Amino acid sequence: MQLTSIEQDMLTGKHGPATKKAMEILAALGAIYGAEHMVPVTSVQIAGVSYDNLGEAGLSFLSEMADGGGKARVLTTLNPAGMDIENWQALGISPEFAEGQFRVIEAFARMGVVTSCTCTPYLSGNVPHYGEHIAWAESSAVCYANSVIGARTNREGGPSALAAALTGCTPAYGYHLDENRLPRVSVDVRATVSSNDAFGALGKAIGQKLEVAGEKPLVTITGIARASVDNLKSFCASIATYGGAAMFHMAGITPEAAQVAPPERIMIIADEDIAAAHASMNDASSDDVDFVSLGCPHLSIGEIARIAELLKGKRVKKEFWITTARPTRQIADRMGYTAIIEASGAKFAADTCCVVAPIKGRFRALATDSAKACYYAYSKNKFKTVLKPFDDVIAEALR
């Protein structure tokens, strides 16, 4: 692999032990994937932030990198933590867990990482532009960045994203290269898809059809008339979770779709495929639901405004988490949405989400509009799930 002189200096330790370690990680990755050189990145998103996932082993790696003088060279933001940093007691988080989580946040902060704790960095100030090379490690955000924005990133792991932050570069392979951004299969959607849960079910339906075919090619999706940012963040999370996709094209909606001819090989998704995918994420009844959560991926301010509208003057009867980024919560405070929502008994869970918080086994069944949340509610937290449209999820909390 061809390294520039500064990259070579990083590798030999001239920029300190943490930068050396970071460049070793990237050089090894580059060798594995046959990269010929590094590419400078302008933005990094680091995942693997919850103390629930990291434990002491992960924390000790981060502390070692911070002690070794590691400093982010480009704008670097963080995925959700395992708790609301300011309001963790209200979510039933133990002081022991909080102490570990604070040490994680502190290690990242020492490295100059912006401790934003959100999986929608593109709604909170970390917004690359079209064609920019970045290194992001959150599967839903990676898919959003590549597909919706047209930025270029591989699906980084926590260590490789941190390594990119500390060096300002990443190996040039995968989605950084034009030839790997070409679609192989057309997916024609012959169904009406308009709500977040339906877009989530569409992502699962596509992922499952590809899995049956034993492949994970990049797809061009046709037949979607319109999709809001909220719909797209839901879809990206779902197709990344169920289809392992880091990118797709959507005709008339994503920027690179117009530049590539739709492949001749066509896969059809009909209403019944979406209905089957939707039904597969409903294995509980309303009577089972004792936990309601919206915000996977993190809620936009428009979605929070809608929650406030529907909860105004009412009381929720179930544990209801509103998961979002801290800056979005602050706008909600200013607009009076927070006061309305909290008066209803619902709880803000900023900085975190119902998947990365340590709540395994705490509830029986989750109601949500997120296909991704359904996947992890079942596989990680052992909850049953009810997938519904956004407004119906709120009605579920009031039942």
Q: Which residues bind ligand F3S (CB under 6 A)?
A: 79-80, 119, 140, 237, 296-298, 323, 353, 355-356, 372-373, 376
* Residue 186 C-beta: closest distance to ligand F3S, Å: 27
Comparing CB distances to ligand F3S, the nearer of 278 and 298 is 298
| Cα Rg, the chain, nearest whole Å | 21
Shortest Cβ 382–ligand F3S spacing (Å) = 16
Cα gap 68→125, rounded to integer Å: 28
By beta-carbon proximity to ligand F3S, the closer residue of 35 and 232 is 232
Burial group, residue 122, by CB count within 10 angstroms (0-12, 13-18, 19+): buried
Identify which of residues 273 and 351 has a Cβ nearer to ligand F3S in the complex.
Answer: 351
- Cis peptide leading into 297, omega within 30 of 0? yes
Distance of CA 314 to the CA centre of its chain: 31
Cβ closer to ligand F3S: 13 or 55?
Answer: 55
The DSSP result for 326-362, as a single string, is HHHHHHHHHHTHHHHHHHTT-EEEET--TTTSS-TTS
User: Could you tell me the smallest distance in angstroms from the CB atom of residue 113 to ligand F3S?
Assistant: 16
Q: How far is CA 71 from the centre of its chain?
A: 24
Nearer to ligand F3S, 267 or 304 (CB): 304
Comparison of 44 and 119: residue with beta carbon closer to ligand F3S: 119
CB of 356 to ligand F3S, least distance (A): 5
Residue 80 or 100 having the CB closest to ligand F3S: 80
What is the nearest approach in angstroms of ligand F3S to the Cβ of residue 34? 30
User: Closest separation between CB of residue 80 and ligand F3S, Å?
Assistant: 4
- As given in the structure block, the two tokens for residue 235 are 């879809």
Nearer to ligand F3S, 158 or 297 (CB): 297
Q: How far is the CB of 172 from ligand F3S (least distance, A)?
A: 27
Q: Which residue has the tokens 């090894």?
A: 28
DSSP string over 245-307: -S--EETTTSTTGGGSPPPS-EEEEEHHHHHHHHHHT--S-GGG--EEEEEEEEEPHHHHHHH
Question: Under DSSP, is residue 84 helix (H, G, I), strand (E, B) or coil?
Answer: coil
Q: At its nearest, how many Å lie between ligand F3S and the CB of residue 298? A: 6
Q: How far is the CB of 76 from ligand F3S (least distance, A)?
A: 17
Q: Using CA atoms, how far apart are residues 160 and 155, in angstroms rounded to an integer?
A: 10
Nearer to ligand F3S, 326 or 372 (CB): 372
CA distance linking residue 193 with residue 195, whole number of Å: 6
Token output for 154: 């591989």
31 class by beta-carbon count within 10 Å (0-12 exposed, 13-18 middle, 19+ buried): exposed
